[in-house]
Amino acid sequence: MTEHSQHSSYREKLIEHLLVGELLKFSWKTKDFSLEISKPEVDNSGYDLIAEANGVIRHIQLKATFIGSATATQKVHISLSKKPSGCVVLVYFNNETLDLGPYYFFGAAPGQPLPSLENLKIATHTKGDATGFKSERPNIRILNKGSFTKLQTINELYNQLFGSA
């Protein structure tokens, strides 16, 4: 067992902070200075961050995986589609250095709602009950990696989220 699996919640929070730092750094370097980041007090609507810049508010569900991972799907909460400009950002990172990128984006143009998630496959629980049956999670959908747009740099991600700075 590696530190990545033993301390996955620690790593998840670290990647979130690194991403927020990179977005803020890009906002600073472009002399935009408008990016604001908020966190929900309760996590029941499928998003991890609220970010606002250039008049665009994004509710972002953040996903992270290491470069070389075979992960082909992500689980997304359907409530995210009820938020203005909801989106999913999948961050790849280097297992050794924790450098970020590339980034994968699922959503619409800045100011536009998330494409519907209703027709996607319904996720099931990862663990079965006493009989091994894995019940459905009616508010969670499975999104294929092919549905995401690949972005190489934080600049591209920032522009995808908020338009040109």
CA distance 44 to 165: 31
Q: What is the pLDDT of residue 160?
A: 97
Q: What is the pLDDT of residue 46?
A: 86
Delimit the domains of the chain by residue range.
3-162
Residue-wise over 42-74: b if at least 16 C-beta within 10 A, else e?
eeebbbbbebbbbebbbbbbbbbbbeeeeeeeb
Residue 106 pLDDT class (50, 70, 90 cuts): very high
Residue 29 pLDDT class (50, 70, 90 cuts): very high
Q: What is the pLDDT of residue 116?
A: 85
| Residue 63 in tokens | 């996903």
The strands making up 56-66's β-sheet, listed across from edge to edge, are 36-38, 49-53, 56-66, 87-93, 100-106, 149-151
For domain 3-162, say whether CATH 2.40.50 is its number. no
Pick from 49, 41, 58, 42: which is nearest to 112 by CA?
58
pLDDT for 63-100, tens place per residue? 999 999 888 999 999 999 999 899 999 999 999 999 99
- The residues facing 77 across adjacent strands are 140
Least confident of 34-38, 61-65, 74-78, 129-133: 129-133
Stretch 30-42: mean pLDDT: 92
DSSP 111: T
Stretch 46-61: mean pLDDT: 95
CA distance 137 to 128: 12
**What's this model's pTM, rounded to 2 decimal places?**
0.91
Q: What is the pLDDT of residue 126?
A: 85
Stretch 20-31: mean pLDDT: 95
